[in-house]
Amino acid sequence: PPPSLLYNLNRFQPPKSVNKIQKDIAVELLNLIGLGRPKEGLRFFTPDCKTHNPYVIGGMDALVDAMIAVQKKGAEGIRRVPG
């Protein structure tokens, strides 16, 4: 092929696949949670988004609030359950 065609083929960047976009979003959400800023991750979800976590009733707001509560308890240290 002519050099110009090879040059154009090498410069071609395929669009991100849906899987790659979803992975990038998941990684960013987990980074925000790890940085202690989980509320900022709510931007990735629609307001009526539901969670399927059986331990959390409500939407993503409730799930994020539960994550925050777990982080606070973890910061206090490990506690033994009496029994």
CA distances from residue 15 to 10, 24, 56 in whole angstroms, order as listed: 14, 14, 36
pLDDT of residue 39: 92
- Provide the 8-state DSSP code for 54: T
Render each residue's pLDDT in the chain as its tens digit; 83 residues.
444 555 555 555 566 788 888 899 999 988 998 888 889 999 988 888 888 888 888 888 998 898 888 888 877 776 667 76
Cα 38–chain centre separation: 9
User: What is d(CA 52, CA 28) in angstroms, rounded to the nearest whole number?
Assistant: 20
**What pLDDT shows up at residue 31?**
92
pLDDT at 14: 62
Give me the residue label for tokens 């959400």: 29
Closest-CA residue to 67 (of 44, 34, 45): 34
